[in-house]
Each structure stands twice: as structure tokens, then as C-alpha cells.
Amino acid sequence: MSRTLGFKLGAIALLVVLLMIPLSMIDGLVSERQHLHDAVLDDIARSSSYSQQITGPLLVVPYRRTVREWKTHEKSGERFLEEREVRSRLYFLPERFVLDGEVKTELRYRGIYEARLFHSASRISGRFELPAQFGIREHFADYRFEPAFLAVGISDIRGIKNDLKLRLDDRTLSFAPGSGDTYLGNGVHVPLAVLDGKGAQAFDFAFDLQLQGTGQLDVIPVGRDSRVTLQSDWPHPRFFGNYLPSEREIRPDGFSANWQTSFFATNMEEVLRNCVRSPHCESFGGPSISVSFVDPVDQYLKSDRAIKYALLFIALTFAAFFLFEVLKRLAVHPVQYGLVGLALALFYLLLLSLAEHLDFALAYGISASACVLLIGVYVSSVLRSWRRGGGFTALLAALYAMLYAVLSAEDYALLMGSLLVFGLLATVMMLTRKLDWYGVGRGDTLRRVGAGPDAA
């Protein structure tokens, strides 16, 4: 070797540092394209409908109450009875709440970007049980009740796709726009007759709801006994919120999941009472059953993950070159190191650009094949042997295959990446375990410690 070991290692280290410049630029481009993609998704949702939250139904009974209070006149000191009227509402949650839904997903395109919309067809049913005198124990005669209504909160009413009809026992009633109550926000309601409340009452309800949304579906379990069943053609659901499914099955063609909660778990009555006492209620829609219909690992996240392994790829490739120099007494110029490093960096730019138009697996295969082929042809000339170049190319192809396995894993990516790094380090250590590094540093004839005169 014509150069000292220290000079060569320093040159390689400097090249690795310089190659981080184009890699950081490509990483910034990934973030920029991700932000643009998110902006397009938001624009598509704004033109159709956002994520959806279903709250209710609730039975709302408005009332006016006469309040009598003894007061003292400021000047004369005489006591008098003052009467005033107070307006408020009574809220009743269903004794039983059942939602049985089927969700189908659809892709909407805008340019090269796509957004996944969902279409849910749900049947919501249950039963209300009202106590005698609406549970009012004192001064019931002072209450004058106004027509009650059944209210359902739907966060984005643009997503309602059917004419809503409520089946209340043996009657069929039409829904009207607006939830009719500030606690529920947007939604629909059904006007009912005046309920006198003198005796206990109970009635069953049911209605069909076809709803379109983007991203996720939230259901607030409002019943004393709440049961939610969802089936979908989306194979990558993310279950979150306050309650996970009691049963679920995820298949390649979709999923099915069941939830069951009670008042003991949701504490909805206490939450509703707190909302009535407070002028601004933000917690009523809090405890939810939630399902996300978005790709958990999209092409931008996978591209970003791949770039995180770029330094490892460059270091391993340069290490392989250096081992060929040491073991085969071949001189590789730093410019040749740099050209191979640029080819490795170009892989990530090809991957990002192709993944926006093709399936990620296909984009990865094309990008990796192009870079492996380019580097293989070049390295065969540098190493002065097609056999050596072919072996180097096979090792590089294996690295790309292992990287794809790491990128595709959602829960085991860190474990697989750690095992990959450990395995590669162990391979290098085994190959060089008998190498006389002092002899390499002095530029002496290379030999393996304890090997015969024919050792490489």
C-alpha cells in the first residue's frame, strides 16, 4: 500500500462526512413532500368531510321552572315573595345503546396524492327508560315541560348520506338539521311530543346512519350498556381512544371488532352532570371508541426510515472496499469511494420520487436494482475482477433486501435493525480477526497471523 493506514482512514471518514450533505438535503425533501401530502389530504377532507364522531342519541327535555324566594325590601325592610322563571333542560342517556356498522374505504386522488375516505353504514338502536317525574323529587308542580327531542351529535354533518328516519316504538319520525343542543355541537335531532313525566316511561329507538368521513371514526358509548360492532375492508386499523375492543379479528381483507362498556367504565352520567353545571363543556365527547383508517406506515415514513440507515450503508460499503484493499492488496482511490457513496445516496432520491407514483415495494425494488447494478458494474472494474464484483454486488443486494424487511416491519423494526447491525459487525470481526493491523499500517506485505505463506 502506497499510503499510510491513517491517511486512508482519514480520507474515508472525510468522505462519509461530506456525503451527509446530500443525504440531509434528501431528508429535508422527504419532510417537504410529507407536508405537501398532508396539506392535500386536509384539502380533500375539507372538500368532502373530516373525521367523524358520533355522540348520542340523548333525550333532551326542556323545561321552565318557577322559583320562589323570600327577599327583604331595601328601604322599607318589608319581606316579600319574589317569583322568577328559570329555563333549563333535563338530559337522559339511553339504558341500552347498540351500534352495528359496516365500513368500506375509498381512495380519492388529487394529482399524485391520495386520501382514504371511509363510508360507514350503521344501525343505531337502543332503549330509553325514564323514571317517574323525570327523577325530580321536590316541587314537581313548579315545572312546565316543553316538547322534548332526541338529539344525535355528528361532528361533520356533510358526511350524512341518507335521509334519516327514527323508529320510535311503532312510530316513524323524521330527523331535522342541527343537534338542538350546544353540548353535542353539530348533528341532527327529532322533535317529540310533550312528556308529562308523571309516570315511568320506556321506549325503544332505532335508525340507520350512512356516514362518510376521512381518517378516523369515533363513537361515544352513551348507554348504560353500550355495544359497538364494526366490520371493515381495511386491513390496517388502529384501535385507540379510551376503550379497546373486547374482541377483534384482523385479516388480509379487513377486520371485525366488538366493544362493550357500561356506566361503571364510562361514567357518562357524571360527565353529563358536570357539563350541565358548567357553561362550557369540553369533556362530554372525551371517552370514545376510536378506529383509524389511515396507512400506519406510508411511503414518506418508510423513506424517512430508510434514510436513517444511509450512514450505515455507506460505512459498510466503504468498509468492504477497505477490506479488499487490505486482504487483496488492491488500491482504491478516495474518488472511487466518493462515487460509490454518491450512488448509494442517489438510491434514496430515486426511492422517494418513484414511491409517489408506484407501490412502495415496486419503487424500492426498482431503485435498489438500479443502484446495485450500477455499483456492481463499477466495482467489478475497480476491483479488477468480475468475480469479486459479483460477490460485492450480491452482498449489497442482500443488504438492501434486509433493509426492506426492516422498513416493512411495524412493531419489530428496531429489533430487526439492531440484529442487522450486530450481525454485520460480527461478520467484519470474524473476517479480520487474524489480520496484522500493524503490518497494514507499515505498508508491509499483508498476512494473517498464524497463517501460512499462501494466506491472502
Between 311 and 189, where is the model more confident? 189
**Band of pLDDT at residue 210, cut at 50, 70 and 90:** very high
Q: Over the chain, what is the mean pLDDT?
A: 82
Between 378 and 263, where is the model more confident? 378
pLDDT of residue 441: 54
Render pLDDT for 317-361 as a digit per residue (tens, 0 to 9). Answer: 787 777 777 766 666 777 888 888 888 888 989 988 888 888 888
Residue 168, CB half-sphere, CA atoms under 13 Å: how many?
A: 20
Neighbours of 169 (CB within 10 A): 9
pLDDT of residue 284: 64
Angle at 297 between CA 292 and CA 298, to 5 degrees: 100
Q: Where are the domains of the chain?
A: 5-38+299-442, 51-292
User: Cell for 330?
Assistant: 488492491
**Band of pLDDT at residue 121, cut at 50, 70 and 90:** very high
Render pLDDT for 67-85 as a digit per residue (tens, 0 to 9). Answer: 877 777 777 777 777 788 8
Neighbours of 221 (CB within 10 A): 27
Give the Å distances, CA to CA, from 198 to 67, 180, 278.
Answer: 20, 25, 28
Q: Above 50 in pLDDT, residue 1?
A: no
Q: Nearest to residue 218, comparing CAs of 379, 367, 51, 336?
A: 51
- Lowest mean pLDDT of 7-21, 112-126, 247-261, 350-364, name the range: 7-21
Burial of 413 (0-12, 13-18, 19+ CB in 10 A): middle
**Band of pLDDT at residue 437, cut at 50, 70 and 90:** low
CA–chain centroid gap for 454, Å, is 59
Give the Å distances, CA to CA, from 143 to 46, 65, 158, 198.
Answer: 44, 5, 37, 12
pLDDT of residue 94: 93
